Structure 1
Amino acid sequence: MKIVIASDSFKDSANALDACQAMAIGVSNANHDITTEIFPLADGGEGTAEILTYYTCGKTIYVDTVDPIGRPIKADYGISEDETTAFIDMASASGLQLLEPEKRNPVNTSSFGTGLMIKNAIERGVEKIILGIGGSATNDAGTGMAKALGYKFYDENNVEVECKGCDLNIIASYEHDETFLENLPQIQVLADVNNPLYGHLGAAFVYGKQKGASGREILSLNEGLQSIANIVSNQTNKSFENIPGAGAAGGMGFGAKVFLNAELIPGSETVIEASGIEKAIQDADFLFTGEGSIDEQTKNGKLISGICKMAAKHNIPVIAFCGSLNASMNELKMIGIQAAFPILNQPMDLQTALLKTEILLKKTAENVVRLICAKP
């Protein structure tokens, strides 16, 4: 028997590789004769750079940068073994998890730190940068990132602007070296959402609250996003605010397109393709996957739905492991999951559950495999 294990990370508890390895140990504990192959995956958000570095046998680069409110930090990104491609997670420098809850507010945050990471990769001479933009704390339309790369943004009095979320409303113009875009490496942005830049489906209205903005602040942030879109349109005679993914990561999708001439591509599909998992599952008996919560929203997630569709194409049943299971059997069927198992084996508080995630994954995988292998 062969089981392919392909999991995303379990947020705040186990990264994708650790989750896969925990399940693999559980399988082995149940039956040493079962062959396993592991494929840690990500959807373009936090952890994507680590996964793509893993699949390209690359290495980790450590850089000095700043967090979303400008505090100095150390962050890292990956670079492929041949040193031609850099893999950067926006969350490493501009992520919500870097801020204490009371400091989270996209009015006051900037993507400047992400720009410093991109600058470091460019200075290393890479030919391509793949940027994952999930998990951000910002709503600055990528202006902070652009500022770190040499763009200058001015108010109506021609005074240079800092480029936080609250500054979008006062930006009146911007400028950059005319040769900047010509000398950039190829840049691809991984975005699995299709939100426009502004409006009720845009960055501020959809994601502003979870980043710490109040209702009034969300309205102001939305106005700022519309304002910067108008400034860009006036200076370029082009409109970018409605391209799919423009509103991703507080408008970083828009900013990357405008200021870096980046290509926006599906995150999950890119990682799945890079992993080579489809070839591995063709002779598999089961595919094990996992994520922190499986609920009615899971069907909208591109990663797990992509895995399930791929498995269905090869008639491979999918078994999912999760921290909490809040989906009906009909919803699981719609997703493409044959069966789902919550890993909690007794009442426990959240902190304990997070600390024990890998142990619980091992035990649950072992029990499931013992059931699969049970004699009638």
Structure 2
Amino acid sequence: MLEKRMKIVIAPDSFKDSLSATEVADVIEAGLQEVFPEAELIKCPMADGGEGTLDTILAVVKGERCSSLVTGPLGDIVEASWAWLPGSHTAIIEMAEASGLQLVPVAQRNACLSTSRGTGELILEALDIGARRIVLTLGGSATNDAGSGMLEALGARFLDSEQWPLPPGGQVLAALNRIDLSSLDPRLPEVRFEVMVDVDNPLCGPNGASYTFAQQNGATRAEVARLDRALGHFAACCQALFENDHRDYPGSGAAGGMGFATRTFLKAEFRPGIEIVAELAELARRIQDADLVITGEGRCDVQTLRGKTTLGVTHVARQHQVPVIVLAGTLGEGYADLYSHGVTAAFSLVSGPMTLTDACQQTPELLRALARDIGRVLRLSTDVRTKTLTSSAL
């Protein structure tokens, strides 16, 4: 009887500033194939909700890439991609595509004025083609408007004391007097909203959206304080309307307060991004009869244990008692704690002194060489096992 070929599932995240998750999987596959061509290699690139999640999902799931012209963070028109999975009537919307920081030149970034309206317009596009489930990823936002722009696109009206609509942005929420939901899209209650979020910041306070993220979006220190007060006032108005308060819900501060809006107005369920991506990609099914899983990301350290891709993949593999090898650009403090979660071994690409710039530029070569070395070890173990079985048979 011929021995079963070794099956290896390759399920990495991207290496930031170097390779996408799909490219990482391709490089690892190439390195393994150099010395272990008989192995069955299954590529399943992963993501945890940050930029590039949309591309990663479409690389492993049968879906359609859609493109829409929507309102950008500063009011101009931008082209945004999103995904449609017709089999499950699911839309995947990456907020960064419509309202992302990468859409705004550094000199024009203004957290006080930027709007999340474009993200709401993408939700409308999804509703129009029959979405029953909408998955939102909240990484990379340029906004700090607590999702008010998104809600305006869906029909909500935010009015001042004279009943005039407020202009775009987070700072003007300090003048909010009344929230009018009479024209909110009636299809919203029939849709299941899931939010990929990898931070647990509240909406307000020293760890809230404004103090944590607004400066990178162009706000001065004085503006940060004003934005925080404005978002607090917005939360108080929402509390009076809904008789509940989600400002301290973990993740409400994500994406400039978009987490708060989705939780309060859309009743969204917050889930770790890797959990949703793994579900969509049917990672468990791919892993269940595998001999090994190879995963990894740009840096593995204590932050990885807070729900990053490497940890999520490891948890799935552990459920099926499949060993896991981690490949990372660097291994930082706390990475060894992954061993108690099911990781068998972890390796860094950089074996000697090297600048970050050089490491990023050489990532493909370094990663392929490391994968090749791991393939040599796996090949050796397979050869030894085959010889042992042959000797026993004789």
Residues 154 and 268 (structure 1), Cα distance of their counterparts in 2 relative to 1, 3 Å cut: same
Q: Which amino acid is the alignment partner of residue 29 of structure 2?
A: A
Matched, 1:72 2:99: no
Deviation, 1:277, is 1.8
Q: Equivalents in 2 of 1:71, 1:346: separation in Å? A: 47
Deviation, 1:365, is 1.0
Matched, 1:297 2:303: yes
RMSD across aligned positions (CA): 2.6
How far does the alpha carbon of each residue in 1:142-197 deviate from its partner, in whole angstroms, 9 at most, with x for none? 00111222222122232221231222222222213356245553322222333322
Residues 349 and 72 (structure 1), Cα distance of their counterparts in 2 relative to 1, 3 Å cut: farther
Q: Equivalents in 1 of 2:277, 2:337: separation in Å? A: 25
State the TM-score, normalizing by the size of structure 1: 0.89
Matched, 1:44 2:49: yes
Residues 104 and 30 (structure 1), Cα distance of their counterparts in 2 relative to 1, 3 Å cut: farther
Q: Which amino acid is the alignment partner of residue 251 of structure 2?
A: G
Q: Of the two, which has the highest radius of gyration?
A: 2
Deviation, 1:207, is 2.8
Q: Residues 3-22 of structure 1 correspond to what in structure 2 (within 5 A)?
A: 3-22=8-27
Matched, 1:61 2:51: no
Of residues 363, 369, 372, the one that matches 2:375 is 369
Matched, 1:248 2:254: yes
How far does the alpha carbon of each residue in 1:14-63 deviate from its partner, in whole angstroms, 9 at most, with x for none? 22222112211111112101111111111122233333344441110111
Count of aligned pairs between the two proteins? 376
SS in 1 for 2:377: helix
Q: Equivalents in 1 of 2:109, 2:238: separation in Å? A: 28
Counterpart contact for 2:239–2:245, Cα < 8 Å: yes
State the TM-score, normalizing by the size of structure 2: 0.86
Q: Which amino acid is the alignment partner of residue 51 of structure 1?
A: T
How far does the alpha carbon of each residue in 1:249-300 deviate from its partner, in whole angstroms, 9 at most, with x for none? 1111111133334333332212122222223323333211121112232222
Counterpart contact for 1:344–1:360, Cα < 8 Å: yes
Q: Equivalents in 1 of 2:133, 2:335: separation in Å? A: 43
Q: Equivalents in 2 of 1:98, 1:359: separation in Å? A: 31
Of residues 168, 174, 196, the one that matches 1:169 is 174
SS in 2 for 1:268: helix
Aligned to 1:218: 224
Residues 328 and 147 (structure 1), Cα distance of their counterparts in 2 relative to 1, 3 Å cut: closer
Deviation, 1:225, is 1.4
Q: Equivalents in 1 of 2:187, 2:355: separation in Å? A: 54
Counterpart contact for 2:310–2:326, Cα < 8 Å: no
Counterpart contact for 2:272–2:307, Cα < 8 Å: no
Counterpart contact for 1:65–1:116, Cα < 8 Å: yes
Q: Equivalents in 2 of 1:243, 1:255: separation in Å? A: 11
Comparing 244-253 and 201-210, the one that deviates more: 201-210
Deviation, 1:9, is 1.7
Q: Equivalents in 2 of 1:102, 1:38: separation in Å? A: 40
Gaps of 5+ in 2: 1-5, 385-394
Deviation, 1:8, is 1.1
Aligned to 2:292: 286
Counterpart contact for 1:53–1:79, Cα < 8 Å: no
Aligned to 1:101: 106
SS in 1 for 2:251: coil
Aligned to 2:202: 196
Counterpart contact for 1:147–1:163, Cα < 8 Å: no
**Percentage identity across paired residues of the two chains:** 36
Counterpart contact for 1:62–1:77, Cα < 8 Å: yes
Q: Which amino acid is the alignment partner of residue 281 of structure 1?
A: I
Q: Equivalents in 2 of 1:318, 1:214: separation in Å? A: 45
Residues 63 and 279 (structure 1), Cα distance of their counterparts in 2 relative to 1, 3 Å cut: same
How far does the alpha carbon of each residue in 1:173-229 deviate from its partner, in whole angstroms, 9 at most, with x for none? 221335624555332222233332212332223333443433333222221111100
Matched, 1:272 2:297: no
Aligned to 1:237: 243
Counterpart contact for 1:181–1:260, Cα < 8 Å: no
Counterpart contact for 2:44–2:60, Cα < 8 Å: no
SS in 1 for 2:174: helix
Q: Which amino acid is the alignment partner of residue 296 of structure 2?
A: G
Q: Equivalents in 2 of 1:193, 1:75: separation in Å? A: 24
Comparing 272-281 and 322-331, the one that deviates more: 322-331
Aligned to 2:349: 343
Q: Equivalents in 2 of 1:336, 1:102: separation in Å? A: 45
